[in-house]
Amino acid sequence: MLTFQHATLKNGLDIIAEINDNAQSTAMGYMVKTGSRDEAAGVAGVSHFLEHMMFKGTPRRTSAQVNEEFDAMGARNNAFTSNEVTCYWATVLPEYTGRCLDLLSDMMRPSLRDDDFSMEKKVILEEISLYLDRPSHILFEAVMGDHFEKHPMANSVLGTHAPADESLF
């Protein structure tokens, strides 16, 4: 039987739990209320960029340690950015719930090291190029652009090859 629980912490963070006593795994994630709809045209793709940077380490863990810890738990983990939300998630065996929650929570405070910015910029530019080889993606972005025109929803979630507007930082 599924049950749902909801709590709001003093800092405003909503915790929502779907509990199934018969489940053989634990799934958890952070749903961050930011996506391309929240970005000015000059910084389109910044939410997606930050999604990538979250895996580059924290003050407590290097990027290698983040990956090694997920691997040691046998976790299935990833992240995605959409127009409205960025999600960081993982599934693990129940005995790793606390450890996984600690790791995901730590990732919510990334180090954002300068050295990682230029490397990840290259990764994202490659990702954009890969998507530009997909006709369905090109069509979807064209429809979004035509429909939303100057609204931020017209911006690409991935970002663009164009340089960011430095005056906005």
pLDDT at residue 163, as a whole number: 62
Residue 1 domain-assigned (yes or no)? no
Residue 168 domain-assigned (yes or no)? no
103: number of CA atoms within 13 Å, CB side? 28
Give the range of the structural domain holding residue 46, as residue numbers without chain letter: 26-153
Residue 64 domain-assigned (yes or no)? yes
Residue 133 domain-assigned (yes or no)? yes
Residue 161 domain-assigned (yes or no)? no
What are the catalytic residues?
Answer: 51
Residue 8 domain-assigned (yes or no)? no
pLDDT at 58 over 50: yes
Q: How many domains does the chain have?
A: 1
- Would you say 46 and 39 are in contact if contact means Cβ atoms under 8 Å apart? yes
pLDDT at 31 over 50: yes
Residue 146 domain-assigned (yes or no)? yes
Residue 72 domain-assigned (yes or no)? yes
CATH classification at residue 101: 3.30.830.10
Per-residue model confidence as pLDDT tens digits over 133-169 = 999 999 999 999 999 998 999 988 998 877 655 544 3
